[in-house]
Amino acid sequence: MTAPAEPTEVHRAPYDHSGAGMGLERWTLRAGPIEATVITLGAALHTLTAPDRSGAPAQLLLTSNDVGTLLGPAKHYGVTVGRYANRIAGSRITVDGEDHPLLPTGNGVTLHGGPDSFAHRVWEAEEIPDGVRMHLHSPDGDQGFPGALDVWVDFTLTGSELALSYRAVTSKPTVLNLTNHAYFNLAGEGRGDVLGHLLTVDADAYTPVDERQIPYGPYEPVADTPFDFTTARPIGERIHDGHPQLKLSRGYDHNWVLRERPADGPPVRAALLADPGSGRTLEVLTTEPGIQVYTANGFDGAVTGPSGAPYGPYAGVALETQHHPDSPHQPSYPSTELRPEQEFRSTTVLRLGTAG
């Protein structure tokens, strides 16, 4: 008989590094040895602490305590990304025959929702059982996207599982793609790179990209390529092997097409990350059709974490559950359209554990 999970403690406090007039809050969720903190700037998963195989705790997310850094070089760390996670080509979309120019972020694309994205907003927060609910209102035309949008994200901690549950409604037909952008290092924040972490991705195909990181067409199989993580492999095993797709971004920054999952069903496993040194494991389950794996290839030491270590290339890995990049321009991809009569729902679960 399985012992019942320990009750989750939920604590709310001002965020000490909030800056003048921002009024930020930090919410702490604690269940036994697992602790997560969420801040209202960007509805960000700010820290995540879990024990290793011997019971010693470590904080596992790349992060910063400085708000200026969170609004600057660390602007995507742990945040809720929207309105559209990943890239949209040409910084424009067409919905019901109407063209909508979007605010560009450079290189001929709109990345992660635009230059003033959800990552920069202060979200409203309220306590719910086992966690916190974040809410944001995005007005019609925000960053060029049609429709007034209301978004809710529930962070709930139950035992060793942190669930991120998204919900959204719109006043006009629009497109929507939400994710969380946490960077994980299961050895602990600032403790080297993740090239030795073992990664499994439950996907037989991925979406290859052009020099703008835009998918250029059909899915391609992962078999016999460095993108084959159907069985556990070290992230760094083939990251430097000269594959043209890896040369584009100096590592992995690609969307894997997850194996089919039941419509409106519960979250299904998408990936498993394991650190052989500490024994920590992270299982990612989701209702989404894709997962973007980004190995922090472009990190250059501009951000120094609480450990005092600057974050260089491969200091962490992002596992962004999502719809596929540039879906509004790719009719064969699962649709990201949201209409006023619909409610967007998505759930991702982060399941922490140990092995060995």
Residues identified as active-site: 181, 320
**Are the CB atoms for 207 and 213 separated by under 8 Å?**
no
Q: What share of the chain is helix, strand, coil (3-state, %, to 5)?
A: 5, 45, 50
What span, in angstroms and rounded, lies between the C-alpha atoms of 251 and 196?
A: 14
- The answer to whether 253 and 198 have CB atoms below 8 angstroms apart is no
Q: What is the DSSP string of 181-246?
A: --EE-TT-TTSS-STTSEEEE-EEEEE-B-TTS-B-SS-EE-TTSTT--SS-EETTSSTTS--HHH
146: left (phi over 0), alpha (psi -120 to 50) or beta: beta
Q: What is the DSSP string of 255-275?
A: EEEEPP--TT---EEEEEEE-
Q: Is 307 left (phi over 0), alpha (psi -120 to 50) or beta?
A: alpha
**From CA 301, how far away is CA 304, in angstroms rounded?**
7
Q: Is 353 helix (H, G, I), strand (E, B) or coil?
A: strand
Q: Is 16 exposed, middle or buried (0-12, 13-18, 19+ CB in 10 A)?
A: exposed
Q: H helices of the chain, where?
A: 67-70, 244-249
User: Cα separation of 292 and 226, whole Å?
Assistant: 15
Cα angle 199, 205, 210 (rounded to 5 degrees) comes to 100
Tell which residue, 91, 144, 95, 93, has the closest CA to residue 116. Answer: 144
Burial tier of 218 (Cβ tally within 10 Å: 0-12, 13-18, 19+): exposed
For 299, phi then psi, to 5°, come to -65, 135
